[in-house]
Amino acid sequence: MKKFVTAGAVAILLALGASGAARAQSITDALTAAYNHAPDLQSALLAAKASAEDIVRAKSGKLPTIGASVAGSNSWSLVGGQFTTGNQITTGVSYNQTIFDNFQTEAEIEAARAAAELSEYQIRNSEQTVLLAVVQAYMDVLSGRQLVALRQDNINFFQAQSQSSQDRLDVGEGTRIDVAQAQARLAQGQAAYRAAQSSLEVSQATFQRLVGVRPQQLNSSHNFARLIPSSLDAALAEAEVGHPAIMMSKAAIRAAQAGSDAAEAAFGPTASINGQVGSRWTNGGPTDGFSGSLGFQVTVPIYAGGAIGAGVRKANLNQIKSEVDAMSTYDQVREAVISAWAGIQAADAQIQAAQAASQAGNTVLEGTIQERDLGTSTTLDVLNSQAELTTAKESLINAQTQKVIATFSLLSAMGRLTAQDLGLPVEVKSAVNYTQSVEDVWQELRTVAE
């Protein structure tokens, strides 16, 4: 008695043979590898560190500027036939500091700190985008492999039906129409199989780009559904409090308000002090002595060609814009939460329907084959039953895939698709420590721990 192995089992065996002792690659493994690999996350981290330096630049506005200078000159003259030369070297130290600028520097420092905070939330936002893309790529590969195996089984079935139709025709029990119909379905099945293979290759390439390694043995099991709240209202409340995009909007409002304050401060007076001390040597002899000066300056803008007023108006418009953008972001986050929540409910319903259709399709196919053998059904009936069963199984694969993606989409919409919330075994990327380090602005050249 011959033993038959389905194409799905063959595909699994081949995959195991190709990967050798390769271990299973869970969703957690893929997310962890992607977090450590993703260039987008590294770019966001570097941008946040660069933004922190703007705090230092802003704080320098009211700190002293000290400089040293050395100057030399050589002179000559020809008078009355007598040629004379002279050398002179001058050294000095200068000091300049703004002691009052109508609180413009304070406003600029606040704007820089808000911008640095915004950049930190941008890291979290980029993190969510990367991790969600990984989940989508992961499920695309997994479902793609399932579809390839299913369509290979479909080809095997149509090949068997084509041969069976030809055998019946050879003994005078079938028709050429049955053979032609079976061959046509076989050609369609082969085309669908090649399409699934092509799609799988693209999905695997996307997976490798995001994760940094080729996909191995995948499965859709995970324990992150525990992070999903029990109600839509709870999910919305959590998103409104902690979503990175909303926190970015709040930081942008702070920055815009500080920018407006800085622009208005430009109308006020500015006071500064300056001083210098130095010495001079002439013709290489003893020093001519030391000299120094200390002074102050107060300036009040009277007219600047409209530049100051334009700056204030622009800052006020930017402040209003930041508030409008925040409202838009709030609406987008709320929409994303509702959409993902509905996606989970729809996927659950589709899974139940597809499971029922698949079970019924198996029964219908077996009965139709028996009826065909008894002469009460045709080969076309069998082919149609197989096509309906394949459609039901594909629907089940797609629904299960969408359920997983919708679950992670909801976590992303809530702002909880982060390495910290997921408990990934990684060092969380953050520029907070760097920002705290660079606020030591008294040292001009320094090494900051990364």
Tell me the two tokens of residue 120: 């930190």
Average pLDDT, the chain: 89
Q: What is the largest CA-CA distance in the chain?
A: 137
132-to-32, 74, 93, 128, 369 alpha-carbon distances in Å: 12, 70, 58, 6, 44
Highest mean pLDDT (candidates 1-10, 215-224, 409-418, 434-443): 409-418
Average pLDDT (419-424) is 94
Cα(202)–Cα(147) distance, rounded to whole angstroms? Answer: 14
Cα(135)–Cα(404) distance, rounded to whole angstroms? Answer: 8
Length of the chain: 450
Q: What is the pLDDT of residues 183-232, one digit of tens each?
A: 999 999 999 999 999 999 999 999 999 999 999 999 888 889 899 999 99
What single-letter DSSP state applies at residue 288?
E
Q: What is the pLDDT of residues 140-167, one digit of tens each?
A: 999 999 999 999 999 999 898 888 888 8
Tell me the two tokens of residue 263: 């622009």
Residue with tokens 């002899």: 285
Which residue type does 31 have? L
Q: pTM value?
A: 0.84
Q: What is the pLDDT of residues 370-379, one digit of tens each?
A: 988 887 888 8
Which residue type does 145 have? R
Q: What is the pLDDT of residues 307-333, one digit of tens each?
A: 999 999 999 999 999 999 999 999 999
Cα(51)–Cα(112) distance, rounded to whole angstroms? Answer: 8
Cα(142)–Cα(401) distance, rounded to whole angstroms? Answer: 8
Tell me the two tokens of residue 12: 């699994």
The secondary element (H helix, E strand) that includes residue 223 is: none
Quick check: 227 and 424 in contact, CB under 8 A?
no
Tell me the two tokens of residue 136: 């989508």
Report pLDDT for 388: 92
Report pLDDT for 22: 52
Report pLDDT for 79: 80
1-to-4, 146, 157 alpha-carbon distances in Å: 10, 29, 20
Burial label for 307, CB within 10 Å (0-12, 13-18, 19+), is exposed
Q: What is the pLDDT of residues 53-86, one digit of tens each?
A: 999 999 989 889 999 999 988 888 888 778 888 8
Asked if the model's pLDDT at residue 289 lies above 90, the reply is: no
368, 370, 373, 377 alpha-carbon torsion, rounded to 10°: -30
Asked if the model's pLDDT at residue 1 lies above 50, the reply is: no
Q: What is the pLDDT of residues 265-276, one digit of tens each?
A: 999 999 999 999
Cα(326)–Cα(340) distance, rounded to whole angstroms? Answer: 21
Cα(361)–Cα(358) distance, rounded to whole angstroms? Answer: 5
Cα(389)–Cα(125) distance, rounded to whole angstroms? Answer: 42
Q: What is the pLDDT of residues 7-58, one digit of tens each?
A: 444 443 334 344 434 567 999 999 999 999 999 999 999 999 999 999 999 9
Please report how the helices 379-414 and 307-374 are oriented relative to each other, as an axis angle in degrees rounded to 10.
150
Please report how the helices 7-19 and 104-170 are oriented relative to each other, as an axis angle in degrees rounded to 10.
130
Report pLDDT for 372: 85
Which residue type does 200 have? L
Buried b (16+ CB within 10 A) or exposed e, 428-438: ebebeebbebb
Chain mean position to CA 208: 16
Quick check: 390 and 154 in contact, CB under 8 A?
yes
Residue ranges in 243-378 assigned as alpha helix (H): 244-265, 307-374
Q: What is the pLDDT of residues 401-414, one digit of tens each?
A: 999 999 999 999 99
For 67, half-sphere exposure in the C-beta direction (CA atoms, 13 angstrom radius) is: 6
Cα(212)–Cα(437) distance, rounded to whole angstroms? Answer: 32
Q: Tell which residue, 325, 334, 348, has the closest CA to residue 407.
A: 348
Cα(366)–Cα(355) distance, rounded to whole angstroms? Answer: 17
Neighbouring CB atoms inside 10 A of 316's CB total 16
Report pLDDT for 254: 96
Q: What is the pLDDT of residues 332-387, one digit of tens each?
A: 999 999 999 999 999 999 999 999 999 999 999 999 989 888 878 888 888 899 99
CA quadruple 244, 249, 251, 252: dihedral sign? positive
